[in-house]
Amino acid sequence: MTEITRTSARRPERPQFRATRLPALGLLAAIALLHGCSRSAGVAPGVRLDTPTDADEVGLVRLAERPAAGSSDDADAAAKTEAPTGGYDLVLTGGRVIDPDSGLDATRDVAIEDGHIAAISPEPLVGRETLDVSGLVVAPGFIDLHSHSPTPLGQHYQLLDGVTTALELEAGAYPVEQFATDLQGRALLHHGTSVGYGSIRLEVKSGIRRPHILSEPMEPLGLRGYWTAARSLFTTPNEVFVERSTPAERDRLRARLHDGLDQGGLGIGLPLDYFSEAIDDAELEMVFEVAAERRVPLFIHVRRGVNGDPAGLREVLTLARRTGASIHICHIQHNAMRNTALFLAEIRAARAEGVDVTTELLPYNAGSAPISSAVFARDWRTIFDIDYGDVEWAATGERFDENTWNEYRARFPEGQVIHHYVDEQWTRTALREPGVLVVSDLLPMVAPDRKVAPHNGAFSRVLGRYVREKGVLSLSEALGRMTILPARRLESAFPVFRRKGRVQVGADADLTVFDPETIRDRASYQDPFQGSDGIAHVVVGGQIVVRDGTRVPGAFPGRSLVTLASPGPAR
Ligand SMILES: [Zn+2]
């Protein structure tokens, strides 16, 4: 999460539980703060800042080499189940199939039956429905591990960016079964969530139930909850963000973590930097122990230092070494800033030691926040290492100077600004690093009049701008970062992902068909509500949901992957 804007606070018709504004505001401030900066960073002993080593034993980052000519025929021999009479449900004919997991990159027909890929063949296959995709690439559907927008609008625009599975793994939710309930029966994409540590901490520290950052209204639980609600009439209770936990509270936090995993949570979401003052070593160790015991990954927004200070990264790597927990570091260059290469080198070194650690990037060089955000009440120019001219007013695109900045902060506190603090070279360094996953970090899209940072174009942006135009990475490498690698990140704990992220017989028929010559993102900070160019067709669970670049009305094949996920090993 970089920044969130909220609409609900102002919705007069529903009796608001005043507390609704509490954590939301605290969360807003904390979120904006998180993307501050730090200055001090020495090189850790034994770490080389040069090209990737071949010590990546974990295999989470390795993509198959493109097989030599003809060898894939052997694969095809087996890549066929008997065609049902009358043909398969659907056949995509004549496309360039790219399957980063197997290395297949060749013209093939792909047949779908009962929501699964039933056959892949150089020979023509017969289907009751046929889609001619010659001249286009047929890839596994894009899997986004970092999306905060399980909303109809968010799903709509992510679909138009080729995403077939969008997961809320950084913030998560608790109780897990209350996540994205308003998507039931109308989900375009597969969706799911991790167990949200922030929501758990809010319950234990403040007695307030708020399953997800989008959930409204909040529910006071017991006396503690009503006391928090009463206090919020006069002040802003924020113990959840600043108060340490007692041993008894840690037991209750641990119990809720197990409960969330029993409900099918896809690992644990730990936006640690939002609770940096509150979460001490004992509490953090407890969270890592639960993740290690249940063998599920931890998705972490590490504590942020000033412009690249690696202390936050080293803290979680040390705990992962000690507990054996699997960890995933969120939005690497937005946290590492000028030390992106150092962060990547330390992650690579840890992986070479056998630590199960992965990371991700979002292909954007700016953050966005309401001008009244707490971070702008601090020394934000030092934190972000930028000046007034690096910030623009979202509604008009105009850049600030000190006078206009102070004037707008006073007159339009809810107005959205965009601060350009990430250097393009940091983003490219992360893109060049093998195994760094591509994500969107899309903030909640709740209504067309509420602008959010245009991260709904993230996947097309990588394929258009960084593969085709800039040649920073190859097409199959980039596709691997948004399909098989996110699937592998989850499949050891959640078998449902063994059928995701692949164009192989038996895999789920989640497919994205695009034109590599025209694909590009169109969403912009001025107008984020735009679909990407070049995404021709999207198939979710065997159903065509986008045809010729346009949504197919009435198609809602998206499934909750939480319900399909068998909880990790029993306690
Ligand atoms: Zn974050």
Query: Residues with Cβ < 8 Å from 140, sequence gap 6 or more?
Result: 99, 100, 101, 479, 483, 484, 487, 500, 501, 502, 503, 507, 510, 511, 512
Mean pLDDT in residue range 93-104? 98
Q: Return the percentage of the chain with pLDDT > 70, whole number.
A: 84
Quote the pLDDT of residue 48: 36
Task: Tell me the average pLDDT across 167-177.
Answer: 96
Distance 334 CA to ligand 1 centre (A): 9
How far apart are the CA of 48 and the centre of ligand 1, in A?
A: 27
**Quick one: average pLDDT of 288-310?**
95
Distance of CA 513 from the midpoint of ligand 1 (Å): 30
- Cα(303) to centroid(ligand 1), Å: 10
**Spacing, Cα 36 to ligand 1 middle (Å):** 12
Distance CA(561)–CA(494), nearest Å, equals 9
CA of 299 to the centre of ligand 1 (A): 10
Q: 26 alpha carbon to ligand 1 midpoint, in Å?
A: 15
Most distant CA atoms of the chain, gap in Å: 74
Give me the phi and psi of 131, to 5 degrees please: -125, 120
How, if at all, do strands 437-438 and 357-361 pair? parallel
185, 202, 230, 372, 509 from 235: Cα distances, Å: 40, 17, 9, 18, 52
The owner of tokens 């407890």 is 286
Distance from the alpha carbon of residue 304 to the mean position of ligand 1, in angstroms: 10
Of the candidates 438, 500, 383, 442, which has an alpha carbon nearest to the alpha carbon of residue 5? 442
What integer pLDDT is reported at residue 63 of this predicted model? 66
The alpha carbon of 31 and the centre of ligand 1 are apart by a number of angstroms equal to 7
Q: Which pLDDT score is estimated for 400?
A: 95
Query: Rounded CA gap, 133 and 138, in Å?
Result: 8
**In what helix (H) or strand (E) does residue 31 lie, and over which residues does it extend?**
helix 21-34
Residues composing the chain = 571
130 Cα to the center of ligand 1, angstroms: 42
Cα Rg of the chain, angstroms = 23
pTM, full prediction? 0.86
Nearest in space to 172 (alpha carbons), one of 562, 565, 569, 571: 562
Count other Cβ atoms within 10 Å, centred on residue 118: 26
- Provide the residue type at 52 as one letter: P
Residue 484 buriedness (CB in 10 A; 0-12 / 13-18 / 19+): buried
Q: How far is the CA of 331 from the centre of ligand 1 (A)?
A: 7
Output the CA 3–ligand 1 centroid distance in Å.
Answer: 9
Q: What is the mean pLDDT of residues 488-500?
A: 96
Q: Report cis status (omega within 30 of 0) of the bond before 217.
A: yes
The verdict on whether omega for the bond into residue 175 sits within 30 degrees of 0, i.e. cis, is yes
CA distances to 34, 97, 254, 461, 517 from 549, in Å: 36, 19, 46, 16, 15
> What separation in angstroms does the CA of 88 have from each of 91, 113, 124, 414?
7, 6, 12, 53
Distance 34 CA to ligand 1 centre (A): 7
341 is written with which tokens? 């290469």
Instruction: Tell me: pLDDT of 489 over 80.
Output: yes
Q: State how far the Cα of 201 lies from the Cα of 245, in Å rounded to an integer.
A: 9
Give 116 Cα–ligand 1 centroid separation in angstroms: 34
The alpha carbon of 35 and the centre of ligand 1 are apart by a number of angstroms equal to 8
For 202-237, how does the pLDDT look when each residue is reduced to its tens digit (9 = 90+)? 999 999 999 987 777 678 898 889 888 888 888 777
Ligand 1 centroid to residue 1 C-alpha, Å: 4
Spacing, Cα 329 to ligand 1 middle (Å): 9
Distance 461 CA to ligand 1 centre (A): 20
How many Å lie between the centroid of ligand 1 and the Cα of residue 173? 15
* pLDDT for the residue numbered 18: 43
pLDDT, averaged across the chain = 86
Residue 441 CA, ligand 1 centroid: distance in Å = 8
CA of 301 to the centre of ligand 1 (A): 5
Q: Nearest to residue 19, comparing CAs of 238, 244, 241?
A: 238
Ligand 1 centroid–CA 170 distance in Å is 7
Question: Under a CB-based contact definition with an 8 Å cutoff, are residues 483 and 143 in contact?
Answer: yes
C-beta of residue 444 within 8 angstroms of C-beta of residue 148:
yes
Distance 2 CA to ligand 1 centre (A): 6
Distance 453 CA to ligand 1 centre (A): 14
Quick one: pLDDT band at residue 87, thresholds 50, 70, 90?
Answer: confident
pLDDT band, residue 23 (cuts 50/70/90)? very low
Split at pLDDT 50, 70, 90, the class of 563 is low
pLDDT of residue 212: 87
Residue 513: per-residue pLDDT: 98
CA of 120 to the centre of ligand 1 (A): 39
What pLDDT shows up at residue 65?
55
